Amino acid sequence: MTARDLQFIGDDAIRITVSQPEERFQLADFLRRSGNWAEIVVGKRSVTVQFDPLIISPTEVARRLRDVEVSDLGSASVAHGMRTLKIQTNDGNAPDLAECAERNDCSIIEFLERIQRSNLRVDMLGFAPGFAYVDGVDPQLEGTRLEHPRQLVKAGSVGFISGHLGIYALDGPGGWPIIGRTAALLFDESKSDPFLIKPGLGLQIEWV
């Protein structure tokens, strides 16, 4: 990496901008496995590293991260593998499903099957703790955010807009049309790393 790839954010974090989107996941996985950093956050084109300035100086942080080359990552990949989330699609859990299917001139079954056949990957987490932005949805399917966001969207809800799914790990407000809900435990407070879904994770959706 070169110096222009690094930018300090306050006193205890540094952002690394990458040249290729895929490199985010390899770099984040590499840095997590090192065990040297307080927190690693994957962004759209970057990885942000949080450190303890009482333990390591910003100068040393920059030196260590600047020394990380793409070749050092080798074949490092996200170790979470492929998971399958089973999505419930009854009326109570999918209030916007019928409208999304109608907008795309297809039946509910066809709409869901096209999402199921999509090559899905978690791009990043954001908006709310554990909220997963998922890329790779069939680009022919169209959808927009709700005109009036909901005050409460239940944990496990799966939202849809053009090209993306949004998966809510926790209860909270949200403006994505909801097309299903998973019974998978997406947040487990008993674990040191409580969120099930991670950036770079491949997803295969099964509708039941």
pTM (two decimals): 0.78
Pick from 42, 73, 104: which residue ends a domain? Answer: 73
For 54-104, how does the pLDDT look when each residue is reduced to its tens digit (9 = 90+)? 999 999 998 888 877 655 665 545 444 456 778 877 767 899 999 999 999
Q: Are residues 62 and 90 in the same domain?
A: no
Task: Write down the pLDDT at residue 162.
Answer: 96
Q: Are residues 89 and 68 in the same domain?
A: no
Q: Are residues 106 and 37 in the same domain?
A: no
Pick from 29, 55, 73: which residue ends a domain? Answer: 73
CA 192, chain centre distance (Å): 18
Q: Coil, strand, or helix at residue 204?
A: strand
The yes-or-no verdict on residue 172 having pLDDT over 80 is: yes
| Alpha carbon distance 69, 64 (integer Å) | 10
> How many helices and strands, by DSSP H and E, does the chain display?
5, 13
Task: Write down the pLDDT at residue 4.
Answer: 47
Pick from 56, 73, 90: which residue ends a domain? Answer: 73
Q: Are residues 96 and 178 in the same domain?
A: yes
Start-end of H helices in 35-132: 58-66, 70-73, 97-103, 108-116
Mean of the pLDDT values across residues 14-19?
87
Mean of the pLDDT values across residues 141-162?
96
Q: Are residues 13 and 88 in the same domain?
A: no
Which of 106-115, 134-143, 146-155, 197-206 comes out lowest in average pLDDT? 197-206
The yes-or-no verdict on residue 32 having pLDDT over 80 is: yes
CATH of the domain at 19: 3.30.1360.40
